A and B are shown apart, each in its own frame.
Chain A
Amino acid sequence: MTASGVSVRFDDVFKAFDDTVVLAGVSLTVEPGEIFALLGPSGSGKTTMLRLLAGFEQLDRGRLLIADEAVEHLPPARRGVGMLFQSYALFPHLSVAENVAFGLKVRGGSQEDPQARVAEMLELVRLSGFEQRRIAELSGGQQQRVALARALAPRPRVLLLDEPLSNLDPALREETRADLRRTVKQTGITTVLVTHEQEEAFELGERIGLLNEGGLEQVGGPAELYRDPASRFVATFVGRCSVLSGVVLERHGGDELTVRLESQPHAEPWLCRGDSGLRAGEQVDVCVRPEALELSTDGGSGLAGRIEAERFTGSNSFYTVRLASPRSDAGDGSAAGPAIEVAMPGTAASLSGACVVRQLAGEPPSVFAGASTESDP
């Protein structure tokens, strides 16, 4: 069953619709057999990358290679690319089996028995026995699996998944996600997935490319994106995070550095991780994950502030804390809510929770957007 995957390469790909630049020179290599997730907000160009690869759009500049062979001039039918559409795009007038067989009949020529292949595919997606059903008779999850079987049946070299779970209700999504990953991994096919949901990208993708405004912000594994975001955009798009302005005080060995928070000049500097290129005195954004912060009321060395809001989500509680401005007293009564202290324990363990990125010109000045933490049950 396992096929050896092929590589996919975007080489300085440029694409504009009318006057709007959608992809501004994107280069990316997807390794053979890898599941690669393109993550980004809507309008970031991720769907365009997928459609360029499938051949539904033509690139303006650059090259597109599948298994080191240029494909940008091939029509969709000859690229050997299978696609799972967001709307599934199942043919409503054909039965389940006819849908799955469509690509086999069209290609013809091969010695393979189409019926056997259809049966094999339906078994793979656990829909054996559904051959004669009409599409309208299937649930959303079943339709998604038929669409996957149809895309895989002609043995494409690359599988493209366009927001594959967005049409399912949340309860079904989690279950289907694991299922989808298992099925795709079983075939060993190189897969490119598009999603705007971080959770989906993290769970399905072995590597993730985060797109923003037509460019790749960062490519890496899920943990890398979470722990070492390359920019403030990555830090805030992937997971929850509070952003504070600061100045690098001192570099230590490796990627450790101490940062003074701009709004809290008298507070103890924070120990963070950051790019080795950062120098002392440089303006930075400190991105801190909620789980790296500790809230306390016993008057320690943390930053004083007041709780503005609390949001309880079941396993966690998230607090929005307004830090006291350095000139006024924290107990000054102007802000409502109970007083609290926010601390960032400067231990090595906490390093994964706070990191520093270069402040970009043009980005609005950072304010303490809100600290949140796990509640102590």
Chain B
Amino acid sequence: MPWLVLAFLVWLVGYPLLVVAAEAFGIGSPGGGGPTTEAFRSFFTRADEWNAMWRTLWISVLSTLAAAAIGVPLGFLFERNEIPGRRLLGALVALPVALPPLVGVIAFLFLYGESGLAARGLQTLGLDVSWRLTGAWAILLVHAYSMYVYFYLFTRAGLSGQDGAAIEAAQSLGASRRQILFRVTLPRLRPALAGATLLTFMTSLGSFSAPYIFGGGFRVMTTQIVASKLNGELRMAYVETTMLALLAFTSLLLLRRIDPGLDLASGARGTPPARRRLHSRGARVAAAAGGWVLAGVLLLPHATLILMSLVPPNTWTVEAFPPILGLVNYGELLSSTERLRPALNSLWMAAAATLAAVVVGVMAARLSLRRGGLPGRALEAMMTLPWAIPGTVFALALAAAMSVNAPWVGRFVLVGTLWILPLAYLVRSLPLTGRSIFAGLRQLDPRLEEAAASLGAGSLRTVLQIVLPLLRPAVIAGAGLAFITMLGDFVTSIVLYTYDTRPISIEIQSSLRIQETGIAAAYGVLLMLLSAAAFIAWDDRAGGRL
């Protein structure tokens, strides 16, 4: 049984990567011909290819720094100070994490774009400004905006886990506040910051929506891959895919080294230090006002998105603010089955992928933890692998592997069918459900399963009556995250969708292309609402842990 599950995972996760790498070398491609390094040679000699690789790297580094510069201070602000409305504001600040990247990106476009609300507003004020939100800085801005949340959440979690006694000990030894920050608090925050760095950097490396919408001629690896594929340069796309996968792997291995692991965790778990109270009334008012302004700035793009969705087609031309608002776009969206279809597609595909990922996750986790050894580790590695690999890479890998009919080597023509997108979503859901199911199962007393067995219960019964009910919080947490992520997926969809399976994100993109901004915004709002609903339901069930 473990071998069967492992074989399935290897086929789904590892094999497509091998196929894409092989085809980059011209091995096993339908066109025939012997192995060749020609495509790699041209990759290494073409400046645009090198540039894309280099840009991917520095954009990721700068995005991580920018996200840290925003997220860490915010984390300190909300975790260490008692400011009015702390709980609500603290949650609002974390909101962008629950929203699909594409929604954030188009919201940015509507707000800060060339003809966005901000530009129009300034022009109305008589300021002759014009800018183009495009290129590297635009990408960085969007990345910083959407990824600071990782640093924010990790910092808060790290701070809340620190023992206040350590700070008191430093104080009693005569340390100043500055010394305490740099010699006690920050060093012990290192595991949390390392985790956030890893997450942000890897997310940025695989980021597609922002470079795709705002990049213009500025290409990073993900957009370069998709462009090569669209241009029919398949071999080059495979080479780029292989290189991006290697870059991701190398980055992961290097970044793991900055994580000090648990060595710095204190043995005793104390209570975090008390939050600082603001004593003067003025300071409290200022803090509250500052907090709300901050939340306003952070939520402004999404508010703009909602506003845009209310603008009927062709009613807003030169005015600073849309003259007419209405629900026309929503009416259009909900009344036509063709318009509604992408929403239904996204819903069923995300649900099917999530369900499958839960089933595979539970099976893999049980087998892995029970068997241990090499098959156990291999099972866990296969479940985690898609996390380290950008979505574009997997999309291309699946496109390469599943476009040939050769069942004897495990290749089937799935590209262009109903199955390819749910399958791709499944691959990307595996690490999300797997992570939480593995963690949940590790916390479960293995004696419970033995007790059930000694009472005569078979394997299936033990899973259904004992394991699954006890694993429910972990399953819901992982499944919720996977469902929300897949609902808004753009990066895999753009490579693999068919007209019949087009998801919301693709519909948003094509509406934008034909200048149906109202419809695009309405889809965005719909996606936002669906995600928020799933997030709230999930947060509720998962006991509020992120």
List residues of chain A with CB under 8 Å of any chain B CB. Answer: 54-56, 75-79, 81-83, 85-87, 89-93, 102-103, 106-107, 150-151, 154
Q: How large is the interface on B (under 10, 10 to 19, 20 to 34, 35 or more residues)?
A: 10 to 19
Kindly specify which of B37-45, B162-170, B236-244, B446-454 makes contact with the partner chain: B446-454
**Residue pair A77, B451 in contact (C-beta under 8 Å):** no
Within 8 Å by CB of A154, from B456, B458, B466, lies: B456
Q: A102 and B450: CB pair below 8 A?
A: no
- B127 touches A (CB below 8 Å): no
Could you name 15 residue pairs across A and B whose Cβ atoms are closer than 8 Å?
A: A54-B450, A54-B454, A76-B450, A77-B453, A77-B455, A82-B454, A82-B455, A85-B451, A86-B447, A87-B447, A89-B445, A92-B470, A93-B470, A102-B452, A106-B461
Chain A, residue nearest B466 (CB):
A91
Most buried by A among B453, B454, B470: B454
With A87-B445, A91-B448 already in contact, the answer to whether A81 and B453 are too (CB < 8 A) is: no
Question: Does A77 contact B448, Cβ atoms closer than 8 Å?
Answer: no
**A-facing residues in B460-511 (Cβ within 8 Å):** 461, 465-466, 469-470
Whole-angstrom distance between the Cβ of A147 and the nearest chain B Cβ? 8
| B450 CB contacts on chain A under 8 angstroms | 54, 56, 76, 83, 85, 89
Shortest Cβ gap from B452 to chain A (Å) = 7
Residues of chain A contacted by B469 (CB below 8 angstroms): 93
Structural contact, A55 and B447, CB atoms closer than 8 A: no
Q: Which residue of A lies closest to B470 (CB)?
A: A93
Beyond A83-B454, A102-B457, 6 additional contacts (C-beta under 8 Å) are: A54-B450, A85-B447, A89-B445, A91-B448, A106-B457, A107-B456
Q: Are A77 and B457 in contact (CB under 8 A)?
A: yes
B447: contacting residue among A82, A89, A106, A151, CB under 8 A? A89
Minimum CB–CB distance for A145 against chain B, Å: 15
Q: Within the complex, what minimum Cβ distance (angstroms) separates A306 from chain B? A: 42
Assess whether B455 is in contact with A106, with CB atoms less than 8 Å apart.
yes
CA distance A90 to B448 in the complex (A): 7
Across the interface, which residues of A come within 8 angstroms of B454, CB to CB?
Answer: 54-55, 76-77, 79, 81-83, 151
- Most A C-beta atoms less than 10 A away, residue of B448, B451, B453, B455: B455
Contact with A along B112-146 (1 / 0, CB 8 A): 00000000000000000000000000000000000
Write out the residue numbers on chain A whose beta carbons fall within 8 Å of the beta carbon of B453.
Answer: 55-56, 75-77
Residue of A nearest to B461 (CB): A106
- Which chain B residue has the least Cβ–Cβ distance from A51? B450
Q: Compute how far the CA of A103 lies from the CA of B461 in the bound complex, rounded to whole angstroms.
A: 11
**B458 and A83 within 8 A (CB):** no
Of the residues A86, A87, A92, A154, contact of B455 by C-beta under 8 Å: A154
For B445, what are the chain A residues with a Cβ–Cβ distance below 8 Å? Answer: 87, 89
The one of B448, B456, B457, B458 in contact with A89, judged by C-beta atoms closer than 8 angstroms, is: B448
A199–B60 Cα distance when bound, in Å, is: 65
Which chain A residue lies CB-closest to B448? A89
Cα separation A106 to B457 with both chains bound (whole Å) = 6
Q: Which residues of A contact B457 (CB under 8 A)?
A: 77, 102-103, 106
Q: B479: shortest Cβ distance to chain A, in Å? A: 19
Contacts of A154 in B (CB 8 A): 455-456
Task: Give the distance to chain A from B297, nearest Cβ to Cβ, in Å.
Answer: 45
Chain A residues near B455 (CB-CB < 8 A): 77, 82, 102-103, 106, 150-151, 154
B383-418 interface (Cβ within 8 A of A): none
Given contacts A85-B451, A89-B451, contact A77 B470 (CB under 8 A): no
Contact with A along B73-94 (1 / 0, CB 8 A): 0000000000000000000000
The distance in angstroms between the C-alpha atoms of A273 and B466, with both chains bound, is: 56
Nearest 3 pairs of A and B residues by beta carbon: A103-B455, A89-B447, A89-B451
**B315-335 contact mask (Cβ, 8 Å, vs A): 1 or 0:** 000000000000000000000
Q: Which residues of chain B are near A56, meaning CB under 8 Å? A: 450, 453
Contacts of A79 in B (CB 8 A): 454
Residues of B near A78 (CB, < 8 A) are: 456
Nearest CB of chain B from residue A41's CB, rounded to whole Å: 22
Distance to closest chain B CB from A65 (angstroms): 18
- The smallest C-beta distance from A250 to any residue of chain B, in angstroms, reads 55
Inter-chain CA distance A55–B457, complex, in Å, is 13
A81 CA to B469 CA, complexed, in Å: 25
**Residues in A neighbouring B447, C-beta threshold 8 A:** 85-87, 89
Question: What residues of B have a CB within 8 angstroms of the CB of A92 in the complex?
Answer: 470
B354 to chain A minimum Cβ distance, whole angstroms, is 23
How distant is the Cα of A78 from the Cα of B451 in the complex, in angstroms?
A: 13
The answer for the CA separation of A97 and B453 in the assembled complex, in Å, is: 18
Complex interface: chain B residues within 8 A of A54 (CB) = 450, 454
Closest A residue to B450 using CB positions: A56
Q: How far is the CB of B219 from chain A (nearest CB, A)?
A: 52
| Nearest chain A residue, comparing its CB with the CB of B468 | A93
Identify which of residues 224-260 in chain B touch chain A, using a CB-to-CB cut-off of 8 Å: none
Judging by beta carbons under 8 Å apart, are B466 and A77 in contact? no
Q: Which residues of B contact A107 (CB under 8 A)?
A: 456
A103 CA to B470 CA, complexed, in Å: 18
CB proximity of B363 to chain A, nearest CB, Å: 19
Shortest distance in angstroms between A377's beta carbon and chain B's nearest beta carbon? 44
A292-B466 Cα distance, complex, nearest whole Å: 55
Bound complex: CA A56 to CA B469 (Å): 23
CA–CA, A90 and B461, complex, Å:
16
Residue of B nearest to A156 (CB): B454
Chain B residues, CB < 8 A from A93: 469-470
Known: A92-B470, A106-B456, A154-B456. A83 touches B451 (CB 8 A): yes
**B476 to chain A: closest CB distance in Å?**
14
How far apart sit A36 and B451, CA to CA, in the bound complex (Å)? 21
Q: Which B residues are in CB contact (< 8 Å) with A55?
A: 453-454
How far apart are the CA atoms of A75 and B456 in the complex, in Å?
Answer: 9
Complex Cα–Cα for A76 and B450 (A):
8
In the complex the two chains form, what is the Cα distance from A86 to B448 in whole Å?
11
In the bound assembly, the distance between CA atoms of A106 and B465 in angstroms comes to 11
| Chain B nearest Cβ from A275, distance in angstroms | 41
Contact string against A for B residues 414-453, beta-carbon threshold 8 Å, 1 for contact and 0 otherwise: 0000000000000000000000000000000101101111
B89 to chain A, nearest CB (A): 35
How far is it, in angstroms, between the C-alpha of A82 and the C-alpha of B451 when the chains are bound?
9
A81 CB contacts on chain B under 8 angstroms = 454
In whole Å, how far is A357's beta carbon from the nearest beta carbon of chain B? 38
Contact partners of B465 in chain A: CB under 8 A? 102
Interface hub of A89, A90, A92 (most chain B Cβ within 10 A): A89
**How far is A86 from B445 in the complex, measured between Cα atoms in Å?**
11
Query: Which residues from chain B contact A83 at a C-beta distance below 8 Å?
Result: 450-451, 454
Question: How many angstroms between the C-alpha atoms of A211 and B461 in the bound complex?
Answer: 36
Q: Which residue of A lies closest to B472 (CB)?
A: A93
Minimum CB–CB distance from B26 to chain A (whole Å) comes to 45
Chain B residue contacts of A87, Cβ below 8 A = 445, 447
Q: A93 CA to B469 CA in the complex, in Å?
A: 7
Q: Taking the nearest CB of chain A, how far is it from the CB of B492, in angstroms? A: 37
A-side contacts of B448, CB under 8 Å: 89, 91
Closest CB in chain B relative to A95 CB, distance in Å: 13
* B455 CB → nearest A CB, Å: 3
Taken together as a complex, chains A and B put the C-alpha atoms of A85 and B452 apart, in Å, by 11
The docked-state distance in angstroms from the alpha carbon of A208 to that of B447 is 25
Contacts of B466 in A (CB 8 A): 91
- Say how far B352's CB is from chain A's closest CB, in angstroms: 28
Residues of chain A within 8 A (CB-CB) of B458 are: 77, 106
For residue A64, give the distance in angstroms from its CB to the closest CB of chain B. 15
Cα A90 to Cα B447 in complex, Å, equals 9
Across the interface, which residues of B come within 8 angstroms of A82, CB to CB?
A: 454-455
Q: What residues of chain A lie closer than 8 Å to B451, measured between beta carbons?
A: 83, 85, 89-91, 150
**Chain A residue with minimal CB distance to B449?**
A89
